Structure formats: C-alpha cells, structure tokens
Structure 1
Amino acid sequence: MAQTQTGDSPPAAGKQRLPAELLKVAGVVLLGMLLMQFDGTMVSIALNKLVGELSVSVSTVQWVVTAYLLALMVGMPIAGWAADRFGTRTIWNFSLIGFLVGSLLCGLSNSVWMLIAARVVQGLGGGMMAPVGQAMLVRVGGVERRAQLVSLMAVPAVVGPTLGPVVGGIIVDDLSWRWMFFINLPIGLVAFLVAGRAMPNLKASSGAGLDVVGVALLVPGLVAIVYGLSQATTVGFGGVQVVVALSLGAAMVAGFAWHAARPNIDALVSMRLFRYRGFATSSILLLLLGLTMGAGFVDPLFLQQVHSESALGAGLLLVAAGVGSALASLTMGRVFNRVGPMRVGVAGLACALVGRLIFTQFDANTSALVIVVAMFVTGVGFGMMVLSMTTALYIGLPPEQVTRATSGSRIFQQIGLSAGTAVVGVVLQFQLTRQQDAAPGGSPGPDALAPAYSNTFWWSVAFLLLAVVPTVLLPKRLVETPVPDKKTESVPRPKEA
C-alpha cells in the first residue's frame, strides 16, 4: 500500500542527517561539479600567459574560453534525453570521462588550436555532467531532502568561481598553466571509481527515441546565441557577426519552442513544463540571476584597476562572496522546508540588492572592510536565491520529467551568464572610453576610472530588480502528494501550494 504523508505541513526531514549512501552519491556529484567550476574560472587567469607561450593574439586565445562555452551548450540539451535513455550513472560516467580526456589533451597541447579542440571535448563532457548529476540527486533524495541536497549542490557553484581565480593564479605563477588541467585527473579518477559503486542508474520507463528535429533546432540555435553574445564583448551588438548569430539563434530557438509545444512530441525540453508554476518562475529567475552573475566579471577588474589590488589580492577579497553564499545555502537548507521557497527567495533577493547597491558606491578609496561586507552580503543573497529557485524548480513535476527539466534550467542559467557578461562588457567598455577621452593624455588614473565602474554596477542592480515579481510568485511552501509504494516508485511527487 502507498504511504501517505500529511498535506498540511511541509516535510520535516530537512532537519535530519542525510543517509550515508545518499551522501556518497552527493559527494561524487559535487566533485564533478567542482571540477567544472574550477576549470571554467582558472582558465581566464591564464589567458595572458597563453598569449606569450603559444605565440598567438589575444583574439585567438579568447577562443579557448569561447569554444568551451559553445560545447557546453551542445551537451546540455541532450543530457536529459541521454540520461533517461541510457541511465544516469552511465551518462554521468561517460560525461566525466569525456571531461577528463579533454583535460589531459589540454595539458598536453602544443598549439592553441589543439588546446581549443581539447576544450571542446571538455565542454561536451561538462555540459552533460552537471544536469545529469543534479537530476540524479533530486530524484534519489526525494522531496523531503531536496532542499538539503540543493544547498550542497550550491557550494561548488559559488566556491568554484570564488576560489578558482586564486588557485589558478598560484598555479600559473608558481607551476605551469598545464597543471590547471592536469589537476583535474586525480580528482576525476576518484569520482569515477566511487561512482561505480555509489550511483544509481535511473532510467525513464518510456525509452523514447531522440528528438532529432529538436536537436537540429535547439542545439545550433543555442550555440549561435552564445557565440553572438561572446563576440558582442569585442565588436559590440551592432557587429555583423553578432546580429546574424543572434538573429539566427533566436529564430531556431523559437522554432524549437513551437516544435516542443506540439502535442504527442517527446521534446528535449517540453514547453509543457511551463504549466508548472515552480518550473516557470524558477526558469525566469535562473535567467535573471545568470545575468547578474555574468555581470559579476566586472568585480575583479574594479579591484585591480581602481582599487590597485594584485590578482591574488583581488581573488582573496572575492572569497567573501563565496563564504557568504555557502553559509547561507547550507544554513537555510536545514530549515527550508518550514520556511518555503518564496520567503527564502525574497530574503535572498533583498540581501543581493543591498550588496550590489553598496557596489555602486565604490571608489578608489573604499576600504577593504566595506568591500568584504558588500561581497559577503551579496553572496548570502545569491546563496538563498539559488536554493529557493532550484528547489522550487521541481515542485509538481512528474519524476520522469526531472532530468529534462534540469537540462532546461541549466540552459536558462547559461544563456543568462553569457548575456550578462556580454551586455555589461559592452557597457563597461563604453564607460571606460568616456573616461579615457575626458582624461588628460587619455590615461585616466584610478580615481577617474571609478565612475565608469560604479555606473556599470547599476546594471546588476537593474537585473535583480527584474527578479522581484517572479520571486514573489514562487510557491510559498511544499505540500506533498501521497508517496507511492517503494516497489513501484521511489521518488515522491511534491505539489504546489
């Protein structure tokens, strides 16, 4: 017989310790996610080094980053279908192996073109690994442990970008840029060996075939959009290649949306998912938070160009944001089931707004203490927002849609990150050009550059203000439906309240 839980109160298991077997699965998934986050942020530190050692131009070496982003967008859409068809453990291991092979080839590269090709291999693996790992944890943990697991998953997402530049700077200065990639191998090997024993191999019962039309529309459409956004930072949004890429990408994604909304279509990401309030609001919020986080690439530039910090010094100041985010996520994860997605989201958005508003007041004389406080408060806000929207994402979804919903949410977040970086990159360049034109000799000092950055920081405030309405529309609490018998279904289905 199916067991029934009370529908009036949220599940109380958020206070309990996670089972040892579930912790093993979580540990493996988090290792994989941390590898991706470190790799993505460390490489940006080494770009100047690569220009000299590989004897190439800055525009060419930028493809080391761009190729990885484009490959991510190829892997993400097909991850959900592949996991449903072949099993979560199978695809996760396959993706991890691809990422590690790419890492090895990156470290062995003797030319920039070999490095770019190896980064494509890395990106294909990473693009599938993250959504499959997240969906696996959500399914095996059940509704009552979802917030705790999401809070754990949020840690590498904030710790990686925060500590990555610090670790990358140490490796580039004291070792070789190649060790940024070689360091992935022993960590990844441990994750692979543990995964074989700890991870479940969950599959969908339908065994549906690949949505070939969806792949043909969505994958190149997303690649075109990300390519256009990446080029906008150098040639502006009026550049021919940017306009063509964004227009073509938008048309193909719109075509996919029409295709995926048709009845009886088992799409890569079904438009019918937007009927669920939690998925719809969370997807919008992930896009907007991605915009804000993408805009955050300005932070270390301000610290180095205006506050005169070294690369290491800037990285250490940025650690405060990661600490705040991790603490908030882990703390709120234990009480989330009682408080609910909407209240946690609103509190997080308020903290993030306060933190970014403080950023708009920064100048060359701002004390390190004020910077650390602003970083910490912003991090607290981001941690709470990620926890609320990622947990609410799955409310009401049938278990068989969890994996594809995760792929869809990752796509929204990645598009937001790329768009935020592009938009704010163009804005910052415009602001810096104005300051340079106004400065004697065209060489503005830190005091003259400060207004360019403070004006640019307002864009991240604007992105957060756009998130107010969808945050308020998040479900207020979790109410479960009857939990099916373990023999027929191990994943409980939540319901919106």
Structure 2
Amino acid sequence: MDRNKKMVTFAVMSIFFVAMGIGTITPAIQNIAEAFPEIDFNTILLVSTLPSLFIIPSTALSGMLAGNKIGYRTLVITGLLLFIAGGAAPAFMNDFASILISRAVFGIGLGIIAPLGNALVLRLFEGQARANMLGIGGVVMNIGGIAFQMLGAILCSINWRYAFFGHLLGIISLLIVLFMLPEPEKQEQAAGVKVKMPFGVYILSILFGML
C-alpha cells in the first residue's frame, strides 16, 4: 500500500473511531445526578439518551446530502465540529436545560458522522480492499466506543464535568480528516436511471426509531 493510500485509510478509520462516542458520559450519570439533586433521575438520563433521538434524523439527512448537495469532507468536518463543541460544552454549564441542548447538538454531529465512514469506504476503495476496510472499520468503531467510555469513566472519577472533556478526543480525528482525507470523485448517475431505496430500509429505520 502506497503512502497516499495509507493516509486515506488512516483518515477513514479516524471517522469510524468517533462513531461510537455516544457512550462517553455514561459512566458519569450517577455523578451528574448527584450534582443536580433537585432533578428527577429519569430526566438526568436524558443526558445519555437524548443524543440518540437527534442521531436518527441527522443520519438520514447526512446520507441524502453526502456527495450530492454537500461534499463528504465538508459533512465530516461539520459533524466533528458539532461532536466536539456539543460534547464538551456541558463541562462549562450549570443550567441543566442548557446541558440538554448541548447534548442535542452533539447528537446531530454524531448523526452526521455515522453513515460517512461506510460511504467513504464505498467511494474510495474497490474489491477486496473495500470488504477489508468495512470489516476493519467495524472493529475500529468498537475500539473507539471502548476508548471513549473508559476515558469518560476516568475523567468523571475526578469531577463529573471532566467526563464531557472526553469528547475532545474528536479533535484528533478532525485534524486527521483536515489533512489526510481527499474528497471522493463525484459519480454521475446514468441518464434515466432512478435508484430506489429498498423497502426493507424503511422498515428497519422505523424499527430503530421506535427502539
């Protein structure tokens, strides 16, 4: 593999790495509940669950726009900026409603990022290399989830606010994308050919939304 291909691979893997960053503050839930004793615990749990609700529509929107209306790099960078800013901002907040708003922003950012790792693999690699990258991407994504959650656990043992700083790990991915990720060539759709979304995709989306 030449140096340029290695850089592209590294950049794409950095996107997979942050895709499971939603679990970063899960270990800090009890600490956050103790910091806001006047708020019902079920409401406190929204800090962890609210982003998931915003991931769903932003993932769908990102998938529709990527490579069509907006470039892949632009979407990845936008998603990472929202991931970092929305993820870390609650560390500086005392108002719980503001924390939830930041978590929503974080969810939007993560939703934008979520489909782009696989999309970039399909655009930038071919044949067996593509299959290998998709498999490795899944492994890296889970490694990232473990890393983010462990970092959040370590930081929250110092102070509940610090757990949110775990999202700053996304800065590394942002820098890698900025300097190493190329914009895939735009593929023109054949005239008169319409690509239809398989019906099963809608069913799965509805089921995931309900879940």
TM-superposed deviation, 1:265: 7.3
Q: In the alignment, residue 48 of structure 1 is paired with which amino acid? A: Q
Instruction: Report the equivalent of 2:167.
Output: 184
Determine if contact 1:95/1:129 at 8 Å carries over to the other structure: yes
1:74 aligns with 2:46: no
TM-superposed deviation, 1:101: 1.5
Instruction: Report the equivalent of 1:51.
Output: 33
Cα deviation code 1:14-57 (max 9, x no counterpart) = xxxx44323323323333332342x3223221111111112322
Determine if contact 1:63/1:116 at 8 Å carries over to the other structure: yes
Determine if contact 2:24/2:166 at 8 Å carries over to the other structure: no
Residue of structure 2 aligned with 1:41, choices 20, 23, 32: 23
TM-superposed deviation, 1:171: 1.9
TM-superposed deviation, 1:119: 0.8
Determine if contact 1:96/1:188 at 8 Å carries over to the other structure: yes
Instruction: Report the equivalent of 1:201.
Output: 183
Instruction: Report the equivalent of 1:107.
Output: 91
Distance (whole Å) between structure 2 residues aligned to residue 165 and residue 190 of structure 1: 17
- How does the TM-score come out when normalised to structure 2? 0.82
Instruction: Report the equivalent of 1:150.
Output: 134
- How does the TM-score come out when normalised to structure 1? 0.37
Instruction: Report the equivalent of 1:86.
Output: 70
**SS in structure 2 opposite 1:46?**
helix
Cα deviation code 1:132-174 (max 9, x no counterpart) = 222112210112311210122112332244455443322222x
Unaligned runs of 5+ in 1: 1-17, 207-262, 275-279, 288-410, 420-497
After superposition, the Cα gap between the structure-2 partners of 1:197 and 1:165, relative to the gap in structure 1 and judged at 3 Å, is closer
**SS in structure 2 opposite 1:86?**
coil
Cα deviation code 1:321-357 (max 9, x no counterpart) = xxxxxxxxxxxxxxxxxxxxxxxxxxxxxxxxxxxxx
Instruction: Report the equivalent of 2:208.
Output: 415
Cα deviation code 1:401-446 (max 9, x no counterpart) = xxxxxxxxxx58x818x73xxxxxxxxxxxxxxxxxxxxxxxxxxx
Instruction: Report the equivalent of 1:30.
Output: 13
TM-superposed deviation, 1:98: 1.4
Distance (whole Å) between structure 2 residues aligned to residue 200 and residue 181 of structure 1: 30
Return the index of the structure with the highest Cα Rg: 1
Distance (whole Å) between structure 2 residues aligned to residue 122 and residue 32 of structure 1: 15
Q: How does 1:274-313 map to 2 (within 5 A)?
A: none
Residue of structure 2 aligned with 1:117, choices 61, 84, 101: 101
Distance (whole Å) between structure 2 residues aligned to residue 415 and residue 19 of structure 1: 40
Distance (whole Å) between structure 2 residues aligned to residue 199 and residue 45 of structure 1: 32
1:129 aligns with 2:113: yes
Cα deviation code 1:262-295 (max 9, x no counterpart) = x9877xxx33x46xxxxx6xx69xx6xxxxxxxx
Q: How does 1:291-440 map to 2 (within 5 A)?
A: 411=205, 415=208, 419=211
Cα deviation code 1:220-245 (max 9, x no counterpart) = xxxxxxxxxxxxxxxxxxxxxxxxxx
**SS in structure 2 opposite 1:85?**
coil
Distance (whole Å) between structure 1 residues aligned to residue 140 and residue 99 of structure 2: 25
Instruction: Report the equivalent of 2:156.
Output: 172
After superposition, the Cα gap between the structure-2 partners of 1:28 and 1:205, relative to the gap in structure 1 and judged at 3 Å, is same
Determine if contact 1:138/1:149 at 8 Å carries over to the other structure: no
Distance (whole Å) between structure 2 residues aligned to residue 123 and residue 195 of structure 1: 20
Distance (whole Å) between structure 2 residues aligned to residue 177 and residue 204 of structure 1: 47
Determine if contact 2:76/2:113 at 8 Å carries over to the other structure: yes
After superposition, the Cα gap between the structure-2 partners of 1:161 and 1:184, relative to the gap in structure 1 and judged at 3 Å, is closer
TM-superposed deviation, 1:104: 2.8
Distance (whole Å) between structure 2 residues aligned to residue 116 and residue 71 of structure 1: 12
Distance (whole Å) between structure 2 residues aligned to residue 415 and residue 71 of structure 1: 13
Unaligned runs of 5+ in 2: none
- Between the two proteins, what is the percent identity of the paired residues? 22
Distance (whole Å) between structure 1 residues aligned to residue 177 and residue 49 of structure 2: 30
TM-superposed deviation, 1:123: 0.8
**SS in structure 2 opposite 1:183?**
helix
